[in-house]
Amino acid sequence: PFDETSQLIFTPPNGIRYLQDIQYGTRYTTPNNGELYVFNYPPEVDSQGQVNQIVAGQSFQWEVSVKVGNRDAIVKTYNYSQNQKNYVLLVSTYPGTGVLLLIIVPSEEYQSAQSWIMQAIAGVKMK
């Protein structure tokens, strides 16, 4: 999907399928029983505040900076439980933009999801 106003281009890796448009973003299904969300918040929305709401109460694991084109993506990983299942949540932000990429996969699927997770993070481009 390409949004003229935001200049965001997201190229999903193979196996990631469009599900629906949501406020400020798009929802996808992924391999490994996961979900992926791409948000592009306008400047008037506090994107860090949105992130803080999403990760509230979740267990922070680690953070890494990944080079994506000519920018860095900051990827933070959290664990949480819901309905007796454990999940991994990856929150990828792109400093200087309102773009937010969320990936959720069941914990037991996380290792095998690595191949497409990095492709998805790198699939976010800004013009």
Residue 2 has pLDDT above 50, yes or no: no
Residue 3 has pLDDT above 80, yes or no: no
Residue 96: CATH number of its domain = 3.40.1000.10
Mean residue pLDDT of the chain comes to: 92
Task: Report the distance separating Cα 29 and Cα 27, nearest Å.
Answer: 7
Task: Report the distance separating Cα 47 and Cα 1, nearest Å.
Answer: 20
Terminal Cα-to-Cα distance of the chain (whole angstroms): 13
The reported pLDDT for the residue numbered 76 is 98
Contact 33, 24 (CB under 8 A): no
List the domain range (segments joined by +) for residue 46: 2-126
Residue 116 has pLDDT above 60, yes or no: yes
Burial group, residue 41, by CB count within 10 angstroms (0-12, 13-18, 19+): buried
Counted domains in the chain: 1
Q: What is the pLDDT of residues 19-60, one digit of tens each?
A: 999 999 999 999 999 999 999 999 899 999 999 999 999 999
